[in-house]
Amino acid sequence: MAKVWVDEASCIGCEACVDELPDVFQMKDGKATVVNPEGASLDEIKEVAEACPTESIKVEE
Ligand code: F3S
Measured from the Cα of 51, ligand 1's closest atom is 7
What confidence score (pLDDT) does residue 6 get?
98
Domain ranges of the chain: 3-60
Q: What is the pLDDT of residues 40-54, one digit of tens each?
A: 999 999 999 999 999
Measured in Å, residue 39 CA sits from the centre of ligand 1 at 17
pTM: 0.95
Residue nearest to atom 1 of ligand 1 (CA): 11
CA end-to-end distance (rounded Å), the chain = 7
Residue spans of the chain under pLDDT 70: none
Q: Is 1 helix (H, G, I), strand (E, B) or coil?
A: coil
What confidence score (pLDDT) does residue 1 get?
77
Q: Cα torsion for 26, 32, 38, 40, to the nearest 10°? A: 80
6 lines ligand 1 (CB under 6 A): yes
Task: Indicate the fold that domain 3-60 takes in CATH.
Answer: Alpha-Beta Plaits (3.30.70)
Measured from the Cα of 6, ligand 1's closest atom is 6
